[in-house]
Chain A
């Protein structure tokens, strides 16, 4: 049982390049999330998807887009990367409903934008 799988683990981009971070969960969870974590800080919510077919903005959505491709997969896209988007990105999922606050996190993607 892999849990939450994120790819890639590391990525270096040049300013203005685009890329998509992939996330998949095999726990049949309803809700999925994308967070970013900057050094010495807590996690900040970028976007979330309460259920398949829905997405909503979190605390810091600017510069990002998401797609809930199906129940398993939730991708995060940077259309034109900026140095301010250098961060560690975490995908998470949760069962939703009465266990919605129990988040399961992936191992993260370390992104550097030069």
Chain B
């Protein structure tokens, strides 16, 4: 199973752009990179997914270099409500081999 490494915690201020980097050195050819967000007392929520280059949706952008050994989740102009734990996962499209690590705890300060 592909393992990921991401910072345990990050602090930011409202209005700033936040970039969370994830390392996944042994990513397999069939693996995609998926990010989830979890608020306290809630289940995780799917944010974004990509295979290579850049993916953007209404919530975030995901940057993946050519070697795919890392990826960066970019949250534009964060607000207090973006305070959450963010999980980076790699796995194939079945979703059956996901491994949730401890994630990155993002704190957005006023």
Measured CB to CB, the residues of A under 8 A from B are 4, 31, 33, 35, 40-45, 48, 50, 56, 59, 90, 92, 94, 96-108
State whether B101 touches A42 (Cβ < 8 A). Answer: yes
The residue that B91 contacts in the complex, of A44, A59, A101, A105, with Cβ under 8 A, is: A101
**B89 to A: closest C-beta gap in Å:** 8
Chain B interface size, under 10 / 10 to 19 / 20 to 34 / 35 or more? 20 to 34
Instruction: Give the chain B neighbours of A92 by CB distance below 8 A.
Output: 43
**A45 to B: closest C-beta gap in Å:** 7
State whether A101 touches B92 (Cβ < 8 A). Answer: yes
State whether B93 touches A101 (Cβ < 8 A). Answer: yes
Measured CB to CB, the residues of B under 8 A from A are 32, 34, 36, 41-46, 49, 87, 89, 91-96, 98-103
- Given A43-B44, A104-B46, the answer on whether A31 and B96 have CB atoms closer than 8 Å is yes
Q: How far is the CA of A48 from the CA of B99 in the complex (A)?
A: 13
Instruction: Give the chain A neighbours of B41 by CB distance below 8 A.
Output: 107-108
State whether A107 touches B43 (Cβ < 8 A). Answer: yes
- Nearest chain-B residue to A58 (Cβ)? B96
State whether A101 touches B34 (Cβ < 8 A). Answer: yes
Instruction: Give the chain A neighbours of B43 by CB distance below 8 A.
Output: 4, 90, 92, 105-108
Instruction: Give the chain B neighbours of A96 by CB distance below 8 A.
Output: 94-95
Q: How far is the CA of A71 from the CA of B43 in the complex (A)?
A: 21
B45, B96, B101: most-surrounded residue (chain A CB, <10 A): B96
